A = this chain, B = another copy of it.
Amino acid sequence: MQAVILAAGLGTRISSLTHNQIPKGLLKVAGREILYRTLTYLQKNGVNEFIVVVNPQFKKRYEDFFKKYSFSVKFVLNSSPERGNGYSLFLAKELVKDKFVLVMSDHLYEEAFVKEAIGKEGLIVDAQGKYIDSEEATKVKINQDRVVEIGKSLRDYQAFDTGFFVLTPEVFKVAEELVSSKDVVELSEIVKKAGLKVSFVNGYFWMDVDTPEDLAKARKFLVKTAVKGAGDGLISRLINRRISTWVSSYLVEKVSPNQATFFTFILGILSALVALINVPLGGVLYQVSSILDGIDGEIARASLRTSRWGGYLDSVLDRYVDFAFLLALMWKTAPPLSFFPVVCMAMFGSVMVSYSTERYKAAFGEDIYVKVPAMKYLLGKRDERVFLIMLFCLFNRIFELFLILAVLTNLRVILTLIFAWRAQRFLT
């Protein structure tokens, strides 16, 4: 499938955002160009060729962009962008072979929107427009599944224009008629004249980034929805994620995921060293490192930079931080030999909680939290353990802490085995 991207706009309205005259589609939001997101999602959902209509003034910038990410692209030059975006579409005519996607270069969409929209027909509209300014948005009046009116100032409308279309080459006939009879042709005129079919895709995140406020809003949304979810414990959901996503939305354009992983690791080891001197302070620092531990993943997902290696490294380092902290507590409290088995069981159980879920994924190829939703309610995940450890550190009850950890973690492993067994029993 092909996609036509309209990117010939002059972008005058957004000069405050683009100091160096960057075309709006190449503006970065949460660490990635707006267009990069759209292209990535389109490609994942079956588009294998992009036809981009650009203003000659920005051609070099777009070429560099496409070369950097190696998307398959054909450029169409529009030397008269003042003739409107309907004219831009018309220029793509010769390169389009069959049914195609038409999308604006400067609209942000979440992946689920693209996935659903690409299977529909005509102009994709949204009855809700959750994330947009309805004053500024383009509205659509619909009658019997067809566009009858389209524009910003409509009073009587059913939905918002998302700037996303699934079209057939027939649209070029209408475009040609209009282009040959007048100078300036907007896309909305073609849409109206063709009486395009309308398809609803409601409630997803999509927006046209126009102001610095839009940019901040978009960044925040992208980071918030970059939380992985499956496997997050109670403390993560109630406390850690609220703070970490807030921090991530500040850092997403400044820090790489691997830098965040490294920083959190150092902070975790540091918290263990501090615990050797002052147990409560060490505990608090440990909890802080646990909160910040979410940042690497959030930044990676929000900026479409996830890597298996990153997740792998983060997991292994987390185990070492947990071990170091318990080792420091052991050293600080110097328990008698008779208590040592309990200390060892707490250390061993802590790593086994992760081992038993990761080994499940290695064996079954899927997440145990997805396969067995009841797993979510089992206490003992890392965020919960760290929080518990902090609490006991604050009150300096280290013996009791080791006892509870020794029981809680190993019990959780046994329950994980039982859940896993019950889940597979119905398969064979």
Residues of A at the B interface (CB closer than 8 Å) are: 307-309, 311-313, 315-316, 319-320, 323, 327, 330-331, 334, 337, 340-341, 343-345, 347-348, 351-352, 354-356, 358-365, 413, 417, 420-421, 424, 428
Beta-carbon contact of B323 and A348 below 8 Å: yes
Beta-carbon contact of A363 and B316 below 8 Å: no
In the assembled complex, 26 residue pairs joining A and B whose CB atoms fall closer than 8 Å, in A order, are A308-B364, A309-B420, A309-B421, A309-B424, A311-B363, A312-B359, A312-B360, A312-B363, A312-B417, A312-B420, A316-B359, A316-B417, A319-B352, A319-B355, A320-B352, A327-B341, A327-B344, A330-B340, A331-B337, A331-B341, A343-B344, A344-B347, A347-B347, A351-B352, A351-B355, A362-B362
Beta-carbon contact of B308 and A363 below 8 Å: yes
Count of this chain's copies in the oligomeric assembly: 2
Q: Report chain B residues within 8 Å CB of A356.
A: 316
- Report the bound CA distance from A311 to B354 in whole Å: 17
Q: Report chain B residues within 8 Å CB of A345.
A: 327
- Report the bound CA distance from A319 to B413 in whole Å: 11
The 6 closest A-B pairs by CB, nearest first: A361-B362, A312-B363, A308-B363, A362-B362, A309-B424, A358-B362
- Report the bound CA distance from A341 to B319 in whole Å: 16
A269 CB, nearest partner CB in chain B, Å: 14
A116 CB, nearest partner CB in chain B, Å: 27
- Report the bound CA distance from A364 to B311 in whole Å: 10
Indicate which residue in B323, B341, B365 contacts A365 across the interface (CB closer than 8 Å).
Answer: B365
Beta-carbon contact of A313 and B417 below 8 Å: yes
Beta-carbon contact of A316 and B347 below 8 Å: no
- Report the bound CA distance from A330 to B335 in whole Å: 14
CB-nearest residue of chain B relative to A367?
Answer: B362
Indicate which residue in B313, B316, B359, B361 contacts A315 across the interface (CB closer than 8 Å).
Answer: B359
A223 CB, nearest partner CB in chain B, Å: 23
- Report the bound CA distance from A313 to B423 in whole Å: 13
Beta-carbon contact of B344 and A330 below 8 Å: yes
- Report the bound CA distance from A334 to B341 in whole Å: 11
Q: Report chain B residues within 8 Å CB of A360.
A: 312
A192 CB, nearest partner CB in chain B, Å: 46
A180 CB, nearest partner CB in chain B, Å: 48
A307 CB, nearest partner CB in chain B, Å: 7
CB-nearest residue of chain B relative to A341?
Answer: B327
Beta-carbon contact of B351 and A307 below 8 Å: no
- Report the bound CA distance from A262 to B166 in whole Å: 59
A320 CB, nearest partner CB in chain B, Å: 8
- Report the bound CA distance from A358 to B363 in whole Å: 9
- Report the bound CA distance from A61 to B340 in whole Å: 61
- Report the bound CA distance from A352 to B321 in whole Å: 13
Q: Report chain B residues within 8 Å CB of A348.
A: 323, 347-348, 351
- Report the bound CA distance from A254 to B319 in whole Å: 41
A410 CB, nearest partner CB in chain B, Å: 9
Q: Report chain B residues within 8 Å CB of A352.
A: 316, 319-320, 351
A171 CB, nearest partner CB in chain B, Å: 38
Beta-carbon contact of A413 and B316 below 8 Å: yes
CB-nearest residue of chain B relative to A357?
Answer: B362
A43 CB, nearest partner CB in chain B, Å: 16
A343 CB, nearest partner CB in chain B, Å: 8
Q: Report chain B residues within 8 Å CB of A315.
A: 359, 363
Q: Report chain B residues within 8 Å CB of A343.
A: 344
Q: Report chain B residues within 8 Å CB of A363.
A: 308-309, 311-312, 315
Given contacts A320-B352, A358-B359, A361-B361, 12 further A-B pairs with CB under 8 A are: A308-B364, A309-B363, A316-B413, A330-B341, A331-B340, A331-B341, A340-B340, A344-B344, A348-B348, A351-B351, A351-B352, A362-B362
